[in-house]
Every structure is written in C-alpha cells, then in structure tokens.
C-alpha cells in the first residue's frame, strides 16, 4: 500500500501543476498536508474500529468542500467573503485536488477505499489493465460486468487494513510487529524522487 510519503509526493505534483502564481512554501505545505490528511484515519480507526480507508478516505468530504466553493462563487457566503480571496480560493481548490488525487486515489487503486462513506458503507477497488491483443483486440478489466467481480469489497464491519499504529484488529499480541512503510516498490520510490525534483525546480524557478 502507498505510504504517507507517497501520498505527499503525489500532492507535490498537484501543487507544482496547479498552484500557478500562488506557488510558494506556505501554499505548497497546505497542499501537501491535504494529500496526507486521509491517512489520519489510521489513528482514528483505533477508536472507531474499521474506519481506516473510510472515515477520511472518501469523496464525500472533498465533495462538500468543493460544493461550498462553487456555491460561494455563484452566490457569496457572507461568512466566507473576507476569507476567500483569489489566492485562498485557488489554494483551496488545489488542496481539494490533492486530497482526492494524492490522498484517496492511490489507495483506491491499491486494495481499495470506502469512497462514499458514510453515505454508503462499501469498500471499492479500482484495479485492472488495458491492452491491445493481436487475438483478442481491445481488452480492459477495470469495469467487470460479471457478478463474481472482486472490485467491490466489504464494509467497515468486516474489513480491516493493518497499519503501524493499528497492526491487528482487536487486542494485539505483546510482541506485535509494527510496520511503517516508506516506499514499497521501485515505482513508488520513483514517484517520491520525481516529485521532489519537480517541486525543487518550481522553487528554483520562482527564486530567479
């Protein structure tokens, strides 16, 4: 599964690509924090059992924030008028994008998340392949039309994702191993290194 570092790296790409003229240390930190925020539910799941990859790993929260931003743009909300200037609004939109594409999406394609929690309590995994075969033509497995498809998982009542802070469901053995992943593959390492390279390039460009 992607580590928090990998989520932050994806957030770095979002920050570098979307902040535009508002790219600076403070705005980048906000965006990186938004990408890391979903993983906070690994701590909350200790109290609310089974809610890791559900409580914050969903599209309901960013959807609500995006909805407020859209409504405010069309009909200004008095309480937000003095807070949401052009800069803050841009950062807020980029933070929402980082939350979705940096925080939630990498887990959606790696073992799944509960995308509509708490409205709908069901874990979903978006995984598969697309290829062009000389004998089968165009082939894709992302959308399965068969009942036995395993892309839809269980609920918070019967699904558990181990983390370094919550290694086993229920009581833990005294000598339980706690694993805090940094990178789990060469591809993840590449994402982290490239994100740092891109962000460094943007900061250097801004300083010139």
pLDDT, position 142 = 82
Interval 70-126: pLDDT, tens: 998 888 877 777 788 999 999 999 999 999 999 999 999 998 999 999 999 999 998
178: confidence class by pLDDT, cuts 50, 70, 90: confident
**Per-residue pLDDT averaged across 10-23, rounded?**
97
CA dist 33 and 12 (Å) reads 10
193: confidence class by pLDDT, cuts 50, 70, 90: very high
Burial tier of 9 (Cβ tally within 10 Å: 0-12, 13-18, 19+) = buried
pTM: 0.91
CA dist 149 and 147 (Å) reads 5
pLDDT, position 68 = 94
pLDDT, position 83 = 81
């Amino acid at each position: 599964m992607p580590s928090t570092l990998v989520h932050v790296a994806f957030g770095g790409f979002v920050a570098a690509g979307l902040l535009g003229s508002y790219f600076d240390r403070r705005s980048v930190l906000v965006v990186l924090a938004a990408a890391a925020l979903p993983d906070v539910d690994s701590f909350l799941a200790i109290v609310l059992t089974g809610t890791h990859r559900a409580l914050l790993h969903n599209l309901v929260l960013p959807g609500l924030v995006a909805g407020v931003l859209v409504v405010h743009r069309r009909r200004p909300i008095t309480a937000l008028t003095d807070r949401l200037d052009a800069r803050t609004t841009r950062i807020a939109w980029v933070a929402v994008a980082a939350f979705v594409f940096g925080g939630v999406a990498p887990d959606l394609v790696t073992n799944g998340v509960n995308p509509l929690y708490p409205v709908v309590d069901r874990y979903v995994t978006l995984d598969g392949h697309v290829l062009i075969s000389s004998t089968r033509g165009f082939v894709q497995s992302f959308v399965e039309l068969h009942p036995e498809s395993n892309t839809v998982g269980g609920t918070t009542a019967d699904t558990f994702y181990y983390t370094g802070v919550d290694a086993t469901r229920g009581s833990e053995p005294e000598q339980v191993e706690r694993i805090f992943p940094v990178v789990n593959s060469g591809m993840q390492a590449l994402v982290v290194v490239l994100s740092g390279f891109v962000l460094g390039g943007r900061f250097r460009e801004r300083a010139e």
